[in-house]
Chain A
Amino acid sequence: MTRYVIRRLLLAIPTLLGVFTIIFILAYLMPGDPVRAVMGESYRRADPATIERVRERLGLNDPWFVQYGRFLGRLVRGDLGTSYVLDQPVAEVISYRFPRTLQLMAGAMVAALLIGLPAGILAAERQYTWVDHTLMFFALVGVAMPVFWQGILAKMFLTQDTYGIALFPVAGYGDGALIYMVLPSLVLGTHLSATIARITRSSMLEVKPQPYMVTAVAKGLHRWRVVLVHQLKNALIPVVTVVGLDVGYLLGGSVVTETIFNWPGLGRAVVTAINRRDTPVILGTLVFGALIFVTVNLVVDLVYALINPRIRYE
């Protein structure tokens, strides 16, 4: 197990180096002059000497390989740089916003599990009945419908008396009030809940004919116990894989969800940074995202062993 973890961690180094290089190249090749974005509306009023001084201060006059070397050198020292426009270190930008993104992702995950698992179990139990068809229809819609569209619909019908019922606030963080979290979590979690429902259903159906299931029923166990303990536990491995992989999706989806619901998380910071060509923030947050993704994948692989003791790492 320890050797496996060490091997995986060592393998992560070239993966991350490749990711960092690609991220840097993409950010470098992005069209648009960062100085123009940094100086905002005052660019057109500024005299050329001021513009040149800003460019020099940001190190943009250096050739690309010098900038790349600086970027890697800082990464090695654990320094993500300083934002061009926010007057803040990138690490501060991330540490300030990531907990809020995590909060949203956790909300989405809870919503997805609360909706997806029961739906999948119920659909499997009522296979080929109207319950199954209805649930799988909504699961299909949930998988197919883009996040931004769900967001718009949710805002129209669940926040406005004019079009529906004003149950929730339109947008914002609301000083952390839980009510503000409901709609963004539901919207972000819809795709995952639909995926979980579909995977749970098919996995439950695969497990159902297994001999130990027949034994459990024959022993006269309560049907809840049979389904939730014997069947569900054995059906969970593909579900855990999907949930693990979808953490990456949630991180990506949070960019859109946060923008739609004005949620002050990391996703929105990335969008704003891209619009402002704030390269240090773009690079820093993407590097951070890549680290998270690699870590989560490793954790998911390790969790398999906990769910299924037959799995051994060599």
Chain B
Amino acid sequence: MAGSVNRRHAQGAPHLHACPRGRSAALLVACSLLLFALTFAPARAAGDFRYPIAADPEHLNPFRSTTVATRTVLIQVYEPLVTFDPQTGGLKPELAERWEVSEDGLTYTFHLRKGVRFHQVPGVVYDDPEVTAEDWIWSFEMFLSGDTAISEHPEYLEAVKGARAFTAGEADRVEGVRALDPYTLEVTLEEPNHRFLFDLINVYVVPREAYEQLGSRFSQVPVGTGPFLFHEWLRDDHITLVKNPDYWEPGLPKLDSITYVNVPDATTQLFQYRQDALHVLLDFPTGQVAALRQEFADEYVEIPGLNLRYLGFKWTSGPFKDNRALRLAVAHALDQETIWNVLMEGARFPAHQGVLPPAMPAADVEGYRYDPELARQYLAEAGYPNGQGLEPITYYYFASAAAEPYHAAIQAMLAEVGIPIVLRSEDNTTYWTRVGDDDVHLFLSGWSADFLDPSEVFNYLFYQGRDDTNYSNPEVDALIARATAITDDAERNALYRQIHQMILEDVPMVPLSYSKVMALVKPYVKDFFLSPAGAYRVPMKYVALER
């Protein structure tokens, strides 16, 4: 009834008739849109490299750099004494022209490169912009500061004599660091430590003038000696670095600028790569790895990476505590080939070896092979024949791995041998807070080594209960400490192999896979050297755009 009343009113009321100019108006709108698109699209410079970053850096403070996003930008602006050779992965001189190590392995003498100058940026005035040993001493002291508002990384230099006392505020200078002359820096260690040079890769020289004159802006405006100068930062959108015209290495950098484009979503990154709005693709959307490898066969590059993905057992509580057979049952129940080569389309290498990524020394030991029958035997030996009496175990994993499609497969594989599993995912921060708790007994985790040395895995995952597994074996602890002090490579690596075997015997975790550093790189991009530590370590000064 109401409808008919309304209809009657509608008939009596004035009508709007279709405008005869409607079609031309639509055409006008379409043309304007096109013109608008052409007019307002920003022009891109030819020598500008567009590099995707998945997260906006928190800040650009070298003393407090904590995430991959921060480091990605900082390593192009700041420089250390030594760095990685992009092609061999070994160490090579950077701001130190060369160095000598004393016979006892305690004293390092660095001969500094002459003519290296700090960036000229507005708001910073130098007495002398050239880098000298005094600048290094000040930078070392800043890194070693006990005030976390200044530095969160005293650990990079903790091997230096007197470093701990300085950080604790018990000394006003670092005993082991001194300038022999403006271009010679001597560093003395507490005891021999083969990691020292590797740790120096993260220690940059920073101009005191910039720190003092920029004040609170120092965290937003990085000033170093590197091949690129900071230009602008629009948070959550992009960071632009431009070529350093005074760079000490002749002919470098080859690019005019780098724009770090913030693209958190892998699919968006792919869309932008297709649009030529990015020159490389570093994050592959889950489920599209194989298809993209095929579609962009000429643009696909990969190298073995340094990340380990593992299934951790809580060593100090729960069903896995003191039950090696149960841990072995889990280890032998997982079909890594299916998980990584089928479900994950070869995005990572199945872990057939131990806990060290394959490119590392002492990595070539036999891991836990897939053998469900053996797993059942171990389960019976553990006191749970066919899983009888075994309460469901919660498999805990983090949100950023939640999109990966193998968790249910792991659950099914363990159920197949008789181990009941409940899946539980948490957002990353909650996960990382909870995973150390005593009631988390089985968890998916990962570890990224920074360089090709077993200490990068052993010292953090298996030393004095530091990892969330709480694994601790006094014998292993003693050997790891001993190995850190051995400077002879062959001797140290033999010891590392022994440690590796001992850890696998203990089964504190099941190594699941090792990373691949993968990228799509436009064909006209030259000398984009991927680093095993991750794409963030690509030395951009060598990269060229040759269209």
Do residues B429 and A275 form an inter-chain contact, with CB atoms below 8 A? yes
Interface string of B144-180 (1 = CB under 8 A from A): 0011110011110010000000000000000000000
B460 contacts which of A45, A170, A262 (Cβ < 8 Å)?
A: A45
Assembled-state Cα–Cα distance A77/B40 (Å): 42
Residue in A31, A45, A86 whose beta carbon sits within 8 Å of that of B155 in the complex = A45
Closest residue of B by beta carbon distance from A216: B14
Complex Cα spacing A213 to B9, Å: 11
CA distance A244 to B154 in the complex (A): 53
User: Contact: A167 with B37, CB < 8 Å?
Assistant: yes
User: In the complex the two chains form, is B268's CB within 8 Å of A178's CB?
Assistant: no
Q: Say which residue of A128, A166, A263 sits within 8 Å of B7 (CB atoms).
A: A128
Q: Does A197 contact B (CB under 8 A)?
A: no
A198 interface residue (CB < 8 Å to B): no
Contact A39 B152 (CB under 8 A): yes
Q: A50-B154, A170-B268, A178-B36 given; name 15 further pairs at CB < 8 Å.
A: A32-B433, A43-B432, A44-B466, A57-B149, A127-B7, A171-B268, A171-B272, A174-B41, A177-B42, A223-B14, A224-B16, A260-B265, A264-B234, A264-B237, A275-B427
Q: Report whether A272 and B236 are in contact in the complex, using a CB–CB cutoff of 8 Å.
A: yes
Q: Can you list, as one digit per residue, whether each of A7-20 has a CB less than 8 Å from chain B (1) or not (0)? A: 00000000000000
Q: List 23 A-B contacts (CB under 8 A).
A: A32-B430, A32-B432, A37-B432, A39-B66, A46-B155, A47-B155, A85-B59, A86-B59, A121-B16, A122-B16, A125-B16, A128-B10, A155-B268, A159-B271, A161-B274, A170-B268, A172-B238, A205-B6, A208-B9, A209-B9, A223-B16, A260-B265, A262-B265
Q: Is B526 an interface residue (CB 8 A)?
A: no
| Residue of B15, B61, B66, B430 with most partner-chain A CB within 10 A | B66
Binding site for B on A (CB under 8 A): 31-34, 36-47, 50, 53-54, 57, 85-88, 96-97, 121-122, 125-128, 155, 159-162, 166-175, 177-179, 205, 208-209, 213, 217, 223-224, 226-227, 259-260, 262-265, 268-269, 272, 275-277
List A contacts of B6 (CB < 8 A).
127-128, 205
> How far, in whole Å, are A39 and B13 apart by their CA atoms in the complex?
68
Which chain B residue has the least Cβ–Cβ distance from A170?
Answer: B271
- Fill in one digit per residue for B109-142: 1 if any A CB lies within 8 Å of its CB, else 0: 0000000000000000000000000000000000
User: Separation in Å of the B233 CB from the closest CB of chain A?
Assistant: 10
Give the docked Cα–Cα distance between A100 and B42 (Å): 18
Whether a CB of chain A sits under 8 angstroms from the CB of B219 is: yes
Chain A positions within 8 Å of B426 at CB level: 31
- A122 and B426 CA atoms in complex are apart in Å by 49
Contact in complex: A87, B220 (CB < 8 Å): yes
How many Å from the CB of B22 to the closest CB on chain A?
11
Is B102 an interface position by the 8 A CB rule? no
Distance A71 CA – B64 CA, assembled complex (angstroms): 26
On whether the beta carbons of B56 and A87 are closer than 8 Å, the reply is no
- Of B88-96, B256-264, B356-364, the segment with at least 4 beta carbons within 8 Å of chain A is B256-264
| A62 to B308 alpha-carbon distance, docked (Å) | 37
Option from B40, B149, B236, B460 in Cβ contact (under 8 Å) with A179: B40
Known: A128-B10, A169-B41. A33 touches B59 (CB 8 A): no
CB–CB A268/B236 < 8 A: yes
Closest partner residue, chain A, to B65 (CB atom): A42
Q: How many residues of B contact A (CB 8 A)?
A: 65
Say if the beta carbon of B24 comes within 8 Å of chain A.
no
Known: A167-B37, A169-B41. A272 touches B428 (CB 8 A): no
The answer to whether A262 touches B237, judged by C-beta atoms less than 8 angstroms apart, is yes
Q: Are A276's CB and B61's CB within 8 A?
A: no
Instruction: Tell me, in angstroms, the Cα distance from A126 to B18 when the chains sit together.
Output: 10
* B277 located at the interface, meaning its Cβ lies under 8 Å from any Cβ of chain A in the complex: yes
Q: Which residues of A contact B147 (CB under 8 A)?
A: 53, 57
- Shortest distance from the beta carbon of A55 to any chain B beta carbon, whole Å: 9
For the complex, is B58 an interface residue (Cβ under 8 Å from A)?
A: yes
B37 CB contact (under 8 Å) in A168, A263, A277: A168
A163–B67 Cα distance when bound, in Å, is: 35
B235: CB under 8 A from chain A? yes
- What is the CA–CA distance of A58 and B447 in the complex, to the nearest angstrom? 27
* Known A-B contacts A50-B148, A87-B58, A167-B33; A36 and B274 likewise in contact (beta carbons under 8 Å): no
Contacts of B262 in A (CB 8 A): 172, 262, 264
Q: Are B271 and A160 in contact (CB under 8 A)?
A: yes
